[in-house]
A and B are shown apart, each in its own frame.
Chain A
Amino acid sequence: MMSGTLSLLFRERLRVMRYTLSENPVNMLAFVLFGLLALAALFGPMLAPHDPLATNAQDALQAPSAQYWFGTDQLGRDVFSRVLVATRLDLLIALGAVLISCVVGSVIGAILGYFGGMLDATASRVVDVLMAFPLFVLAMALVAALGNTVMNVIYATAIINLPFYIRLARAEVNVRRNLGYVEAARVGGSGHTRILMVFLLPNILSPVVIQASVNLGWAVLNAAGLSFLGLGVRPPTPEWGIMVAEGARFITSGEWWIALFPGLALMVAVFAFNLLGDALRDILDPRLRT
């Protein structure tokens, strides 16, 4: 019966989605952009006109042209191909971090919000301390401490994002834990674990998903920022952050395209995820709309 419920819910959602998209064209834009990013991530390496790693000293530092759409960098590599291929890595890092953060954070937050008491009081103070640090600096410290690898960048980003999910889940569960249907579940024989898993977590999915999609934008920026500083991803792997770092040197000498295009890509990605968050909010819970 549960699967039947899921398919019914899904059909409901599709109907609301169609309506919301038609009502607000910006939501359409969000999905289109997200679609493009997803395509770039999935098929980037296949679609790239040039090998992103192939150096070509002759064609170095060339402005955008018909052959090299975004120009070439100081080693003669095609900027467009690199930007395209980098999409996959950046998105994966962001997605990985947000997924871990979201799942772990929501569960912790839900437990805190549900049980309250001393557990909540102490844990919340720990979270407060975590949030008191400048998060980016914390990420740097974590990567430096754990080791300079991509996985650690993912973990570090996940950790610094935890507080948002913990707080969100805690607040949402707190609001719902005294609602009639939770009491009904207790009278109906469900223990605490089942109530959390079956009745509370699924019902806070909407605000959490919305937070996650907005978070994706931030996570992309975070990953790029860390590699800009030399932490995590290392050259010659194409990644937007590294590309901006490398291209920054050349802006003053007039080769603006090396840093601009990866920067633009970052911007588009963050923009797309923020819009996606808004669109999802409209679809999943219109009451949250401002």
Chain B
Amino acid sequence: MSAEALLSVRSLSVNFRTRSGTVAVLDRVTFDVAPGEIVGIVGESGSGKSVTAFAVMGILDAAAQITSGEILFEGRNVLAMGARERDAWRGSEASIIFQNPRTALNPIRTAGEQIGDVLARHVPDTATVIRAKVLDALRQVRIPDPEKRAKSYPFELSGGLCQRIGIAMALSCSPKLLIADEPTTGLDVTTQAVIMDLIRDLAHERNLGTVLITHDLALASEYCDRIVVMHAGHVVEAAPVAELFAHPRHPYTTRLLRSVPSIADDISQLQAISGSLPDLRRSDLPPCRFAERCDRRIPACDAAGLMLEAAGPSHTVACRNPL
């Protein structure tokens, strides 16, 4: 993509060292996020979507190794930053919201204190100013009675409120990039709708580049501008929402779409995806990690060097035999 991209992940590969061997968790992951755009990274468990988010934020586990690739934020390679610079960058220029809101918050500090901590870390100021900023942040996420809520502990708040606190913390220093890692898993459906609406509204108001990580295709279809589909550590397809659902090109995307309940009229129309994720510890992983489950496999699929290629307007796919 052009130099306007806020975030540009290029050919990112990550390995995990584990008890049972080295796991090739991410392989040449590539995608872009423009300012003000909401990009959804969609995949099932084991697809590597959360690992991608953590790699961008620089909060990967100690057992993780970034073996190649670049993460460019406004043109700067984030991976080349020193630890201090990265710490300063994280929270003020790019932020993340986590999956389980209640456990993502410190249980022994009040909501106000936690938001204040983030502010004090990046924009130190007097206590009065910070207090005012905290209340302002709470209002921005539409929390009623912010003075009272600022004094509440996470256990006193509902899941939805906790997630709003998380969002307030993430946005307190006005970052340019927001990553939301499954922000509504574990929340009720009505709460989910409200939180997602909030995230979308804030993203548009502040022209934030947003990455929404989710396993829920339907959710992604409602809130994202573009969708990146991941499978077993690979990006298999990326396209604007309407285009992806109208003309999916990768066999995995198609099968995934057909397995989502909301799309079917009758249970017989649901289609499961045969096989299961390949064992990523194998040294003989095929170049296309979906090949062994794919019904469109051809001999060319075993050739090395599988890359994302153009397949339409802003539409890329990594497949030797796309639809």
In-complex A–B contact (CB below 8 Å): yes
Question: Which applies to chain A's interface (DSSP): helix, strand, loop or mixed?
Answer: helix
Closest to B19 in A: A19
Closest-CB distance, A162 to chain B (whole angstroms): 33
**A19→B21 CA distance, assembly (Å):** 12
**A150→B163 CA distance, assembly (Å):** 62
Closest-CB distance, B18 to chain A (whole angstroms): 11
Closest-CB distance, B21 to chain A (whole angstroms): 11
Given the complex, which residues of A lie within 8 Å of B19, measured CB to CB?
19, 23, 286
**A286→B19 CA distance, assembly (Å):** 11
Closest-CB distance, A237 to chain B (whole angstroms): 47
Question: Which applies to chain B's interface (DSSP): helix, strand, loop or mixed?
Answer: loop
**A23→B19 CA distance, assembly (Å):** 9
Q: Which A residues, 1 to 22, have Cβ-Cβ distances below 8 Å to chain B?
A: 19
**A19→B18 CA distance, assembly (Å):** 12
Count of chain A residues with Cβ under 8 Å from any Cβ of B? 3
Closest to A286 in B: B19
Given the complex, which residues of B lie within 8 Å of A286, measured CB to CB?
19
**Residue-by-residue, is A253-290 near B (CB-CB < 8 Å gives 1, otherwise 0)?**
00000000000000000000000000000000010000
**Residue-by-residue, is B135-178 near A (CB-CB < 8 Å gives 1, otherwise 0)?**
00000000000000000000000000000000000000000000
Closest to B20 in A: A19
Count of chain B residues with Cβ under 8 Å from any Cβ of A? 1
Closest-CB distance, A15 to chain B (whole angstroms): 11
Closest-CB distance, A19 to chain B (whole angstroms): 7
Given the complex, which residues of B lie within 8 Å of A23, measured CB to CB?
19
**Residue-by-residue, is A10-43 near B (CB-CB < 8 Å gives 1, otherwise 0)?**
0000000001000100000000000000000000
Q: Which A residues, 180 to 216, have Cβ-Cβ distances below 8 Å to chain B?
A: none
Q: Which B residues, 1 to 35, have Cβ-Cβ distances below 8 Å to chain A?
A: 19
Given the complex, which residues of B lie within 8 Å of A19, measured CB to CB?
19
Closest-CB distance, A23 to chain B (whole angstroms): 8
**A205→B195 CA distance, assembly (Å):** 44
Closest-CB distance, A224 to chain B (whole angstroms): 39
Closest-CB distance, B88 to chain A (whole angstroms): 31
Closest-CB distance, A58 to chain B (whole angstroms): 61
**A286→B18 CA distance, assembly (Å):** 13
**Residue-by-residue, is A149-192 near B (CB-CB < 8 Å gives 1, otherwise 0)?**
00000000000000000000000000000000000000000000
Closest to A23 in B: B19
Closest-CB distance, A16 to chain B (whole angstroms): 9
Closest-CB distance, B150 to chain A (whole angstroms): 34
Closest-CB distance, B22 to chain A (whole angstroms): 15
Closest-CB distance, B195 to chain A (whole angstroms): 29
**A205→B19 CA distance, assembly (Å):** 23
Closest-CB distance, A111 to chain B (whole angstroms): 31
Closest-CB distance, B159 to chain A (whole angstroms): 20
Closest-CB distance, B19 to chain A (whole angstroms): 7
Closest-CB distance, A172 to chain B (whole angstroms): 22
Closest-CB distance, A14 to chain B (whole angstroms): 15
**A19→B19 CA distance, assembly (Å):** 8
**Residue-by-residue, is A225-238 near B (CB-CB < 8 Å gives 1, otherwise 0)?**
00000000000000
**A55→B224 CA distance, assembly (Å):** 91
Closest-CB distance, A24 to chain B (whole angstroms): 12
Closest-CB distance, A96 to chain B (whole angstroms): 37
Closest to A19 in B: B19
Closest to A16 in B: B19
**A23→B18 CA distance, assembly (Å):** 12
**Residue-by-residue, is A119-153 near B (CB-CB < 8 Å gives 1, otherwise 0)?**
00000000000000000000000000000000000
Closest to A20 in B: B19
Closest-CB distance, B62 to chain A (whole angstroms): 15
Closest-CB distance, A22 to chain B (whole angstroms): 11
**A145→B170 CA distance, assembly (Å):** 66
**A19→B260 CA distance, assembly (Å):** 41
Closest-CB distance, B86 to chain A (whole angstroms): 28
Closest-CB distance, B205 to chain A (whole angstroms): 43
**Residue-by-residue, is A95-114 near B (CB-CB < 8 Å gives 1, otherwise 0)?**
00000000000000000000
A residues at B contact (CB < 8 Å): 19, 23, 286
3 A-B pairs whose Cβ atoms sit less than 8 Å apart in the complex: A19-B19, A23-B19, A286-B19
B residues at A contact (CB < 8 Å): 19
Q: Which 3 A-B pairs have the closest CB atoms?
A: A19-B19, A23-B19, A286-B19
